[in-house]
Structure 1
């Protein structure tokens, strides 16, 4: 083997070694670049999570308890809040209307209710109200309604919300659901009434979208009282 051959062989071997090192370094570089991108994304996610927690006022990990819920309502929604002494119930008033939150199953379930007390049975057609409630629940699956001639009727939302931060995000949505359920119940009630008892819907000024069932019940009760006075 001549010296030139030896030199060429040596250079070839060195070139091969450098080529291997180059591609190995390139592979490592790509791996580190991928790792850096992953770490950068994780850092951004942590920053977003931190900003969200700060926006939630530090309540991201504050659990739902009777006292914490009452404080949240007083601080951000209404000053008319009362905690029942003999049960895990919070009573509060918004725009003149009463609501209550049951805390007996926290943190498994958050239960928001709005109810109407019992009325004279003759004033409301309870069978029709039950039908209207069934249709309302079909259309608004998150809302449950209970209809009882002796106790009245109520709207209920059950949620797995378990922190004050989550409640802050969900509260307005829950309240809007109850509002929608009230409107839907009125619509369904009067829709059936017009078919089954058209004589009770003779008022041409009646607006089924704005008149509350309780308003109708009160009107009927007053008419019944006036008729009794006339008869006596």
Structure 2
């Protein structure tokens, strides 16, 4: 593995022991021979064998790096810590439950290759979601409310598979659940974003870490905060003055 990879794949996990090995294998199949990459797993204090499985995989997977939270901090913090630890200028993120398809990462890279330089985020769009009816219904309404308040022109901000520039991401304001508002935050910073249709799969192992009510209550508070950030934003181009 190179000390200067072109792409870092960041995967936050919490109690996903049975999903670790299959997902790592799929990432390797999708990217080996295509791009110089690393995989950065962030274990958010799993109570099962997730960390043990990751350590075992490191022996046979030179691309794999593992970071462990010392206290439970949630998905947004795990993503941010993974991005901070990453060594590549571009980041791909995947949910650790296996519902995102690593085979879509090359598709996102192709979209980046043909895009203008101001596009800093390529967001996955689950056009055929494989979740329960209640979860799809809740997501539909949440996306509609978010779009009306933030005007981010993004049909699906909850999809875990994304491709973005590391520097642009780390320049964004950080708060819990920020990973659900990346298109609006990137646009607030002056960058363009693109939604890309991607595959979505059934969860085959483990259980979801979220419920619809919890998401709704947190989402209302977060939406108000992001809307305030957008209203209070001010940008200007700068230039260096030389003698």
TM-score between the two structures when normalised by the length of structure 1: 0.28
TM-score between the two structures when normalised by the length of structure 2: 0.27
* Rg (Cα) greater in structure: 1
